Amino acid sequence: MKTDIILCGVGGQGILSIATIIGEAAMNENLYIKQAEVHGMSQRGGDVQSNLRISSNPIASDLISKGGADVIISMEPMEALRYLPYLNKEGWVITSSVPFVNIPNYPEIENVKKELEKLPNVICIDIEQLAKDNGIPRSANVILLGAAQKALGIDYDKIEAAVRRVFARKGDAIVEANVKALALGKEAQS
Amino acid sequence: MKKLLLGDEAIALGAIHAGLSGVYAYPGTPSTEITEFIQGNEIARERGLHSRWCTNEKTAMEAALGMSFMGKRALVCMKHVGLNVCADPFVNSGMTGVNGGVVVLVADDPSMHSSQDEQDSRFYGKFAMIPTLEPSSQQEAFDMMEFAFDYSEKQCLPVLMRVTTRMAHSRAVVMVKDEARKENEKNYDAAAANWVLLPANARRRNDKVTAQQAQLEEDAAEGKWNNLSGLTGKKAPLGIIASGIAYNYVQEAGVELPILKVSQYPLPKRLVRELLDSCEKVMVVEEGQPFIEEQVRGVFESQNILGRLTGELPRTGELTPDCVAEALGIPAHRAEIPSLVAARPPQLCQGCGHRDVYTALNEVLKEYENPRVFGDIGCYTLGFLPPYKAIHSCVDMGASITMAKGASDAGQWPAVAIIGDSTFTHSGMTGLLDAVNENADITVIISDNLTTAMTGGQDSAGTNKFEAICRGLGVSEEHLHVVVPLPKNMPEITQIIRNEINYHGVSVIIPRRECIQTFKRHAKEKKQ
């Protein structure tokens, strides 16, 4: 198997925790992993992305080629569009529908949604509302991961086990909140 | 044992496993995580390895030389521009040589994700005549550390290890050894005169190190880090020289060509010649500036050497798998970003004290004709962008104060310098002394958020000492002010700024409020 994933959003939205969970699951499956992150100045409210590559064969490049990504997981709808040149023809976009408006020239959200709807494979979810409605406001990013699970090429229970391991040191309540978030995401995409 | 590690973390763990006794560093993207990893590592804590942040890269390099003098192994970490700050001890460390192994880890930032230039540190290695390593994977980075320390001691020279952003900030699975080598025992084995660079001693060392170069180059040709493969005995139309992480992009393209992988310098000319002799043309693929390419081409134009200088690869900026594939003749994937997508530049955090400082400063400066504000390196450089558009310069660490002074010397008024707390102790203090000595007509704002914020909140060397430092440098008490940058204090802050601009001499205003990011982190830690 080989899955090339672009994780994106705005600095501070928690894309790296999604990457950590996928990385944990992949390592447990003895897969090869390469994950390029962005640290430093751009983390301050700017656009951020991480290239995550998992494969059963050795991986050469840390970066994904244009047209090479199988999945874009985005915490923000306009940010999902920014990385479309990297998506392959059959690739999936799994994105939060909630705009993060911290710039004066943010486009009309309806136009952003129209642009997303042009894509053949897109899942667009109001993860923040879903998280609030279910009493897990801090686990919106894991809902998004749940919605992306099918596109990752890793079994659901393997991802769930990784969620449990990654959050274990934060206590049972946080583990269960995130397991629930993962399930909500899975449900929302089907 | 298998671990998922950032390149920076693999380097850090590799150094610990190689018997490190201390890391010396100043934070700088993309090198910061190396020292942070060592600070949090169990073996490092058990052994009491030195890992506190230094005031700047120069003090870091010199402390590492002191540790080496005592026979122990030291690692120095910095970003590429930090090497300029410690260029003096770095270059001279080639002359002194080392006793305990010294590895200088420099993280370059091509494409300037978080930097002011894209200088290539390999030039410094050649310049200082010290061996240079450039790992191509996180595993290699881990494995190379032990080699680097051993080799440093064997050659009695420091070793430069150069990585770039994509190596420093990319994770991969790394096989690590279970056992960490013991630290070196303290010893006085160094030839004493090597450390005293009086001309007579330095000349002797210079002859020795110059003569050593042939051996270093032969070691690079023979060693396992450089590798020539894919020769068929027939002349190939194209061969590749790829260094460090660029090697991966060539692999990714999946072309089968003769290839010389370079991860150890001096550049092994013997292997280069072997490749050149068996190929019609050779393309040089390297991250950063055309360091290898220029050496291979020499001063003459050659139609047979391709790379950044001939336009097959972009002349500047970071390599990508796309541009390397295209250079190798693989058609590029063409797709555009939808036109409605707007740029989202980084910005100061909501609730950040720098915001209040700029609000106050802008309000006061409206009252003057042609005010000029000299900025510095840190989060507050973002004050250049809207909505503040508050600074007119940002050159290097500490240049705010000295440039304001120079501009004032040339007749500028008001001349305001704005500098962060950590940047001030890194390189601003000496400039402030210059200003005080001439009572320059400048207003210095030390925006103190009690941390090195830009790189993620590391300790700042001058915390709780700024008033004392300023007094010690000779700033007068009546022109030294501390304020709390909050909207409710605007009237007080603006009045102080106005008064001090109107005072024709050196004044220092210290707006002090904790960085909002570290504040949130500390609040969270308290709750837990």
Share of chain B above pLDDT 70, in %: 99
Q: How confident is the model at residue B186 (pLDDT cuts 50, 70, 90)?
A: very high
- Which residue in B has a C-alpha nearest to residue A61's C-alpha? B248
Q: Give B-chain residues touching A28 at CB under 8 angstroms.
A: none
What's this model's pTM, rounded to 2 decimal places? Answer: 0.94
Contact check, Cβ <8 Å, B169/A39: yes
Name chain B contacts of A27, Cβ cutoff 8 Å. 2, 4, 173
B113 neighbourhood in chain A, CB within 8 Å: 38, 40-42
Q: What is the DSSP string of B464-511?
A: T-HHHHHHHHT--GGGEEEE---GGGHHHHHHHHHHHHHSSS-EEEEE
In a domain, A53, yes or no: yes
Look at A37 and B172 and tell me if their CB atoms are within 8 Å. Answer: no
CA distance to partner chain A, nearest, from residue B341 (Å): 6
For residue A169, the chain B residue with the least C-alpha distance is B528
Cα–Cα distance, A19 to A185 (Å, whole number): 16
Amino acid present at B12: A
Is residue B299 over pLDDT 90?
no
d(CA B373, CA B221): 52
For residue A32, the distance in angstroms to the closest alpha carbon of chain B comes to 7
Q: Which of residues 81-140 of A touch B (CB under 8 A)?
A: 81-82, 84-85, 87, 102-103, 105-107, 111-112, 115
Instruction: For residue A37, list chain B residues with Cβ-Cβ distance below 8 A.
Output: 6, 169-171
| B114–A41 CB contact, under 8 Å | yes
Domain ranges of chain B: 2-222, 227-327, 353-519
Q: B227-327, which class in CATH?
A: alpha beta
- Using the predicted structure, report yes or no on whether residue B388 has a pLDDT greater than 80: yes
**How many residues would you count in chain A?**
190
Question: For residue range A53-82, what is the model confidence (pLDDT) as tens digits?
Answer: 999 999 999 999 999 999 999 999 999 999
Q: Which residue of A has its CA nearest to B385?
A: A103
Dist. CA A110–CA A122, nearest whole Å:
16
Q: Which amino acid is at B442?
A: I
Mutate to test the interface with B, among A44, A119, A165 (most CBs of B within 10 A): A44
Give dist(CA B181, CA B185) in Å, integer: 12
**Overall average pLDDT of the B344-369 stretch:** 96
The one-letter amino acid code at B215 reads Q
Mean pLDDT, chain A, integer: 94
CA–CA gap between residue B283 and residue B303 (Å, rounded): 11
Q: Is B510 on the interface with A (CB under 8 A)?
A: no
Segment (H or E) for B525: helix B516-527
Which residues does B122 contact at the CB level (< 8 Å), separation at least 6?
B132, B134, B160, B162, B265, B288, B291
| Residue-level pLDDT at A40 | 66
pLDDT tens for residues B269-294?
999 999 999 999 999 999 999 999 99
Q: Report ipTM for this prediction.
A: 0.93
Query: What region, left, alpha or beta, does residue A12 occupy, with left being phi > 0 and alpha being psi -120 to 50 degrees?
Result: left
pLDDT at A42: 62
Contact B347 A105 (CB under 8 A): no
Q: What is chain A's Cα-based Rg?
A: 16
Q: Which domain does A174 fall in, by range? A: 2-100+113-189
Of A44, A67, A79, Cβ closest to residue B347: A44
| pLDDT tens-place string over residues B86-140 | 999 999 999 999 999 999 999 999 999 889 999 999 999 999 999 999 999 999 9
What's chain B's length in residues?
Answer: 528
Give the chain A residue whose CA is nearest to the CA of B172: A34
| A177 CB-side CA count, 13 A | 19
- Whether A34 is in a domain gets the answer yes
Q: Determine, for residues B337 and A103 on separate chains, whether the beta-carbon distance falls below 8 Å.
A: no
Q: A35 - beta bridge partners?
A: A52, B171
- Tokens, residue A167: 């959050």
Residues of A with Cβ-Cβ distance to B376 under 8 angstroms: none
With beta carbons under 8 A apart, name residues in chain B contacting A113.
none
Which SS3 state, helix, strand or coil, does residue A122 take? strand
pLDDT of residue A41: 66
Say which CATH number the domain at A154 has. Answer: 3.40.920.10
| Percent of chain B topping pLDDT 90 | 94
Total domains, chain A:
1
Asked if the B353-519 domain carries CATH number 3.40.50.970, the reply is: yes
For residue B302, pLDDT over 80 is answered with no
Residue B150 near chain A (CB below 8 Å): no
Q: State pLDDT tens for residues B135-161.
A: 999 999 999 999 999 999 999 999 999
Yes or no, beta carbons of B171 and A84 under 8 Å apart: no
The DSSP call for residue B266 is: S
Which residues in chain A have their CB less than 8 angstroms from residue B252's CB? 60-61, 65
List C-alpha distances in Å: A141 to A181, A185, B411. Answer: 8, 9, 55
- Helices assigned H by DSSP within B171-259: 199-222, 246-253
**Interface probe with B: pick from A39, A59, A76, A138, most Cβ of B within 10 Å:** A39
How far apart, in whole angstroms, are the C-alpha atoms of residue B270 and residue B267? 9
- What pLDDT shows up at residue B523? 92
In contact, B426 and B382? CB cutoff 8 Å:
no
Residue A124 to residue A127: CA distance in whole angstroms: 9
Q: Which of B521, B173, B501 is nearest to B368 (CA)?
A: B501
DSSP-derived secondary structure for B385-430: STTT---SB--STTHHHHHHHHHHHTT-SSEEEEEEHHHIIIIIHH
Residue A63 lies in a domain: yes
Window 62-81 of A, Cβ < 8 Å to B: 62-68, 78-79, 81
Q: Answer whether residue A108 is part of any domain.
A: no
pLDDT on residue A12: 82
Of A32, A40, A106, the CB nearest to B342: A106
pLDDT of residue A129: 97
Mark yes or no for CB contact B332/A36 under 8 Å. Answer: no
Q: Residue A39: what pLDDT? A: 74
Q: Does B375 touch chain A (CB under 8 A)?
A: no
Per-residue pLDDT band for B492 (boundaries 50, 70, 90) equals very high
Q: Which residues of B touch A68 (CB under 8 A)?
A: 321, 333
Query: What is the dotted CATH code of the domain comprising B2-222?
Result: 3.40.50.970
Across the interface, whether the CB atoms of B337 and A82 are under 8 A apart is answered: yes
- Reported as a single tens digit per residue, the pLDDT across B303-313 is 799 999 999 99
Confidence bin at B199 (pLDDT 50/70/90): very high
Whether A88 has a pLDDT exceeding 90, the answer reads yes
Q: Which of B29, B321, B347 sits opposite A63 (nearest CB)?
A: B321
- The per-residue pLDDT of chain B, averaged, comes to 96
pLDDT surpasses 80 at B191: no
Q: B171 and chain A: CB distance < 8 Å anywhere?
A: yes
Q: Where are the beta strands (DSSP E) in B273-348?
A: 279-285, 305-306
pLDDT number for residue A14: 84
How far off is chain A from B317, nearest CA to CA, in Å? 15
What pLDDT, on the 0 to 100 scale, is given for residue A11? 86
Chain A contact present for B1, CB below 8 A = no
